[in-house]
C-alpha cells in the first residue's frame, strides 16, 4: 500500500498532513540528511580556511561553488542516494560521507582532499549540529510565528472585550465581577512570558570528537588550537558553542526548549478549557460555517470542536516533549545510542503543537461574545458585591463586617 494521507499510520502525516507540511523539509528524514550534508560541507570548508591545515589548501572559487551547490541544490533524489548507500554501510552518517565523495568525483582539487571529508569527526559531531540547526529553523521559522499569531488574535480579542463585564467563578462558584477582556489578557500575558523562554533558549553545538577531548584532532595536528577552531565553526553556523561534552552534546538545552514549549502549551490547554466552559455557559456564541455539521444526529448543535481538537493535540505534544526532556539529558558514561531514535521524534512534538495552534486560531475566529448572557448571571448574583461592601465597612470602622454580611 502506497503512503498517502489516507494510508499514513500517524495522523500527523495523514489527516493533519496539510497542517504539518511546513515541518517536512526540516524534521523529515530528508531534512536530517540535508542538514548532515550541510554540516559536512561546512566542516571541510573550515579546514580549507585554516592556515595550519596545510594538506587542505584554500579552495578555489570553482571548488567552493561546487561544494555550496551540493548543499543549495540538494534534492529528494540526492537524499534517496544517501539512503541507498546506507543499505550497504548500515550507517547513516557514513553514507553521507560516501555520498559527498561521489558528488566531488571529477573535480581534481576536491578529490585530492576527499579524505578530509568527516575529518576527525565522530558521527555525533555531525548529528548534534544537524539537530541544532533543525530545532533553530523549526522554532524560529515555523513555531514562534504561529505562537505569535495566536497571541495577537487573543490580544485583539482582549481589547475588544475589555469593557464587557462578567461574573467570575472560583471553585466553580460565583465570585467577584471581572471583564471577559481582562481574563483573556491574563492568558496573553502568560503566553508572552513562555514564548520568551522558547525564543531565548540558546541552541548549542559541539564538534570535539569521539569523547569530547579532540583526541583525533590533536593526534593529527597537535599544534592547532582545536577548541578555538571548533568554537568558531559552531558559531559560524549560528549556534552557541558548548565547550564541555562527552561524545554527545548533553542535550540540556533541548530539555529547556521542550519544557518551555510545553509550558506555553499548558497555558493554551488552560485557555481551551476555560473557553469551552464559557461557550457552555452561553458567554460566547460560535459563528457557523456554511456546510459544516456540528452533530451527526442533532442538527441544532455547534460544538466547540476547534478548542477540543487543540486541547487534545496540545496534550499529545506535551507527552512527546516530556519524554524528550526527561530522556535526552541522560546517557550512559560517554554515550549510549538511546537518544538517536528519540531525537527522530522532535518533529512530532512540533507537529502536534502546530496542529493545535492552527485549530486555536480557527476557533478564536469563530467566537462571538454574548454580553447579554453575561449580564444575566451578574444580575442573578448580587451577593458577589458582599466583598467590596464589607471592605468599605472596615474602612469606616464598622465591627464584624464580614460576619454581618454573611448573616444576611
Q: How far apart are CA 350 and CA 147, in angstroms?
A: 12
Q: How far apart are CA 187 and CA 144, in angstroms?
A: 17
Catalytic residue among 10, 176, 236, 295, which?
295
- Beta strands at 204-205 and 173-179: parallel, antiparallel or unpaired: unpaired
Answer whether 64's CB lies under 8 Å from 41's CB: no
Answer whether 363's CB lies under 8 Å from 275's CB: yes
Residue 295 annotated among the catalytic residues of the structure: yes
Residues 6+ apart with CB under 8 A from 24: 30, 31
Answer whether 222's CB lies under 8 Å from 277's CB: no
The percent helix, strand, coil of the chain (3-state, each to 5) is 65, 5, 30
Residue 221: name the closest of 7, 54, 401, 35 by CA: 54
Answer whether 153's CB lies under 8 Å from 361's CB: yes
What would the grid cell of residue 219 be?
Answer: 593526534
Catalytic residue among 18, 171, 296, 300, which?
171
Which residues have a catalytic role annotated?
171, 295
Amino acid at each position: 500500500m502506497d503512503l498517502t494521507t489516507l494510508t499514513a499510520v500517524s495522523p500527523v502525516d495523514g489527516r493533519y498532513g496539510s497542517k504539518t507540511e511546513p515541518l517536512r523539509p526540516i524534521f523529515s528524514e530528508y531534512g536530517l540528511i540535508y542538514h548532515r550534508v550541510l554540516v559536512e560541507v561546512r566542516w571541510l570548508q573550515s579546514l580549507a580556511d585554516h592556515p595550519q591545515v596545510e594538506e587542505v589548501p584554500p579552495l578555489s572559487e570553482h571548488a567552493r561553488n561546487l561544494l555550496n551547490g551540493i548543499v543549495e541544490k540538494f534534492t529528494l533524489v540526492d537524499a534517496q542516494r544517501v539512503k541507498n548507500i546506507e543499505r550497504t554501510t548500515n550507517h547513516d552518517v557514513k553514507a553521507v560521507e560516501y555520498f559527498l565523495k561521489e558528488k566531488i568525483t571529477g573535480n581534481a582539487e576536491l578529490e585530492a582532499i576527499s579524505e578530509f571529508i568527516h575529518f576527525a569527526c565522530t558521527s555525533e559531531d555531525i548529528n548534534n549540529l544537524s539537530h541544532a540547526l533543525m530545532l533553530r529553523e523549526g522554532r524560529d521559522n515555523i513555531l514562534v510565528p504561529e505562537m505569535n499569531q495566536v497571541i495577537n488574535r487573543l490580544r485583539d480579542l482582549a481589547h475588544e472585550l475589555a469593557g464587557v463585564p462578567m461574573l467570575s467563578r472560583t471553585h466553580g462558584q460565583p465570585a467577584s465581577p471581572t471583564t471577559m477582556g481582562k481574563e483573556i489578557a491574563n492568558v496573553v500575558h502568560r503566553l508572552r512570558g513562555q514564548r520568551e523562554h522558547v525564543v531565548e533558549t540558546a541552541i548549542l553545538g559541539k564538534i570535539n570528537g569521539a569523547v569530547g577531548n579532540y583526541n583525533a584532532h590533536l593526534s593529527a595536528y597537535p599544534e592547532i588550537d582545536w577548541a578555538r577552531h571548533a568554537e568558531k565553526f559552531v558559531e559560524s553556523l549560528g549556534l552557541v558553542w558548548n565547550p564541555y561534552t562527552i561524545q554527545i552534546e548533553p542535550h540540556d538545552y533541548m530539555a529547556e526548549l521542550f519544557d518551555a514549549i510545553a509550558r506555553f502549551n499548558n497555558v493554551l490547554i488552560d485557555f481551551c478549557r476555560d473557553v469551552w466552559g464559557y461557550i457552555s455557559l452561553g458567554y460566547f456564541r460560535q459563528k457557523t460555517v456554511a456546510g459544516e455539521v456540528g452533530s451527526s444526529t442533532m442538527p441544532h448543535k455547534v460544538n466547540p470542536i476547534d478548542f477540543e481538537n487543540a486541547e487534545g493535540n496540545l496534550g499529545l505534544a506535551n507527552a512527546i516533549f516530556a519524554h524528550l526532556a526527561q530522556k535526552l539529558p541522560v546517557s550512559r558514561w560517554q554515550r549510549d545510542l538511546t537518544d538517536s531514535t528519540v531525537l527522530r521524534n522532535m518533529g512530532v512534538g512540533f507537529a502536534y503543537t502546530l496542529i493545535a495552534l492552527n485549530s486555536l486560531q480557527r476557533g478564536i475566529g469563530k467566537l462571538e461574545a454574548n454580553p447579554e448572557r453575561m449580564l444575566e448571571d451578574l444580575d442573578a448574583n448580587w451577593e458577589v458585591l458582599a466583598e467590596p461592601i464589607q471592605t468599605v465597612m472596615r474602612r469606616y470602622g464598622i465591627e464584624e463586617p464580614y460576619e454581618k454580611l454573611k448573616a444576611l
